[in-house]
Amino acid sequence: MAPATAPVSEGSGTTSSSGGATNSVQGLGKHFLDVEKFPTNLMISGGVAKDGIPALTRPDFVFSNSEDAGYLSDADMVLGVFMNGVAKAYPHNIGWHHEIVNDVISRQDIVVTVCPLTGTGLVFNGSGDLESPLELGVSGLQFNNNLVMYDRRDDATLYPQMTLVGISGLMTGNELTLLPVIETTWQNWKRMLPNTRVVSASSSGTYSFGRYTFYPYSGYREPNSGPFFPLFPSPDGNLRIFEHAPKEVALVLRFGRVTKAYPFSSMGGEEVFINDTVAGENVVVVYYAEGRLALTFKRDFEGRSMTFDRINSTDDKFPFMMQDRETGTVWDLLGRGISGELANSQLHQIAAHNTLWFAWANFWQETKVYIP
């Protein structure tokens, strides 16, 4: 555990953003949100047919000590969802082979999505605009190495995972709603939430237990390796890709069309709090290197803005905690007030997520980047 003087960054921090016009995607505004201009001709096959990668719907869950959770090692990564006191874990190991899990947690429909090629794990609100809940499947297409999902309700709407916006079908122009997610190691998730359940290895009815124990993309995650498929624009037309190693992991925030990335290598320590402002929103980024955890909360609470520091933990479930300077309240890493003036309060977790740098720099060419 780091000492109580672990790095804390205040204010908006130093950022970089794109420079010359040579980085632009002509006519697309350096992003891919304009449905009418979306380059659908650049969506290509990912090597499998529609539903060739089988999404899971309402899979079985088991507790962490179950044999059907034995496919996970402590170092494996999970997407954790904690809602109304209910904790569920959706491992990358499942995402590698299914990419989409349609599920319900605490009576809330959700869709958990994993794109192994862009390193993006996004959770969407499944309460749809149609009569039935949102249910997504794997289209077999990819755009800029990113998963393209299809809406099973009309069998036609396509959603590139990283833009969130429907580009065809009945729901063209509809933007999916992101929900908060906690991406961390299985060991750290179990430590924080020991009563968690996790997707059972028996859920698919198709794949063997052993299939979920190995990473199927060989050396793809090597930091300096390139993507599988060509990029648009090419790296020569988007120099932002070279600012970090292509497979550098970054926590990313998006408020409308304003984005900011926090590369893990730039966090500046093992247990770090970054008090920042993005697009007028006061946020705090919490980083725990050993648990490969990065998450974000709003710093504004009941009309006042707060600044957070690291303190030693008072609960073995958490490696450290945070304390705001304004009220002295102690908060755990799930944003719950433990003691002090705001005890029993809950901070608002922002729906941020992790990504590989090359993908974020390609989808969001004007992104700001945190520099300590």
Per-residue confidence (pLDDT) for residue 233, from 0 to 100: 84
Burial 301-323 (b: 16+ CB within 10 A, else e): beeeebbbbbeebeeeebbbbbb
Yes or no: say if 370 and 262 are a contact pair by the CB < 8 Å rule: yes
Note the pLDDT of residue 9: 38
What pLDDT is recorded for position 30?
73
Q: Which residue type occupies 108?
A: Q
The amino acid sitting at 353 is: H
d(CA 293, CA 334): 12
Positive or negative, the CA dihedral 225, 117, 40, 244 is negative
Give CA–CA dist 55/97, Å, rounded.
9
**Tokens coding 326:** 């304004």
| Sheet containing 56-57, strands listed edge to edge, beginning at the edge strand earlier in sequence | 56-57, 100-105, 108-115, 120-125, 178-179
CA 180 to the chain's CA centroid: 8
Distance CA 19, CA 23 (A): 8
Render each residue's pLDDT in the chain as its tens digit; 372 residues.
Answer: 333 333 333 333 444 444 332 333 443 447 788 888 899 999 999 999 999 999 999 999 999 999 999 999 999 999 999 999 999 999 999 999 999 999 999 999 999 999 999 999 999 999 966 678 999 999 999 999 999 999 999 999 999 999 999 999 999 999 999 999 999 999 999 999 999 999 999 998 788 899 999 999 999 999 999 999 999 888 888 889 999 999 999 999 999 999 999 999 999 999 999 999 999 999 999 999 999 999 999 999 999 999 999 999 999 999 999 999 999 999 999 999 999 999 999 999 999 999 999 999 999 999 999 998
Instruction: Tell me which residue of 14, 31, 331, 64 sits closest to 188, measured CA to CA.
Output: 64
- pLDDT, residue 129, reads 67
Tokens of 220: 């793809």
d(CA 151, CA 169): 9
Strand order in the sheet with 44-45: 44-45, 136-143, 146-151, 158-160
CA dist 21 → 237, 239, 241 (Å): 9, 11, 15
Domain ranges of the chain: 8-18+238-355+364-371, 28-207
H-helix or E-strand spanning residue 361: helix 357-363
Q: Are strands 77-83 and 182-185 parallel, antiparallel or unpaired?
A: antiparallel
**What is the predicted pLDDT for the residue at 131?**
78
The CA-based angle 296-302-308, given to 5 degrees, is 40
**pTM, full prediction:** 0.91
What is the rounded end-to-end Cα distance, in angstroms, of the chain? 21
